[in-house]
Amino acid sequence: MKHFAVIGLGKFGFHTARALYEDGNEVMAIDADKSRVQTIDPHSTEAVVLDATNRDALKSLGLEDMDGVVVSTGTKISTSIMICLYLKEIGVRKILAKAMDEDHGKILKLVGATEIIHPERDMAQRVARGLSRPNILDFIPLADDYDLLQVGPPREFIGKNLKDLNLRARYNVHIIAIKELVPENFLLVPPANFVIKDSDILIMLGKTEDIKGIRALK
């Protein structure tokens, strides 16, 4: 089980927190607006009323131990910049921040964000790619008890090849593709001698319960 925090519970933040929680993660949802916090409370592990621009208050939450923190504040650009800076200073390793535009995204990167989210642009590109270059995976009619999972490799996978890991026998899951980030490459049905790196993204197919077992690995 992974642990995430979402700061800012507008539409994007609310749905992000809820989706993470419903996917079996522990989620801390944070906003200065009490009504927003009350709304997300049934869909999170912990809902906190807090001004995230208060560095000491932010530090008290223990966010440095999270697997990731999503910053999804409103249209006041300075707020997200300040929060990302504080999260970086606190020691949060993975900071995903929603940007209003390209320049805002560049600034967020400079102050500590590790990944920038442009919701409208990213969704538009996804829709366009789906229309012009449809992914064959979109057309596989999965049964209700099967899932596709895209995940970074657990520590015990790194440095081992697929044959030695024998995931089909150990976890009853199949690695159907691997995205290599360094250098960028996509392998469909990777060979048994492929050695997994910490920068790789694994795309797995398996029963929902078996996939949960992979998610639980650190």
Give per-residue pLDDT as tens, 141-160.
555 677 787 888 888 899 99
Alpha helices in 23-161 (DSSP H): 34-40, 55-59, 77-90, 102-111, 119-132
CATH of the domain at 207: 3.30.70.1450
Q: Output the average pLDDT for the chain.
A: 88
- Among the listed residues 83, 69, 80, the one whose alpha carbon sits nearest the alpha carbon of residue 104: 80
Identify the pLDDT of residue 205: 87
Instruction: Indicate if 112 and 197 belong to the same structural domain.
Output: no
The answer to whether 40 and 29 are in contact (CB under 8 A) is: yes
145 in the same domain as 116: no
Boundaries of domain holding 150: 138-215
| Statement to judge: residues 114 and 167 lie in one domain | no
Residue 48: which CATH number?
3.40.50.720
3-state secondary structure of 168: helix
Instruction: Supply the pLDDT for residue 163.
Output: 93
* Residue 130 within a domain: no
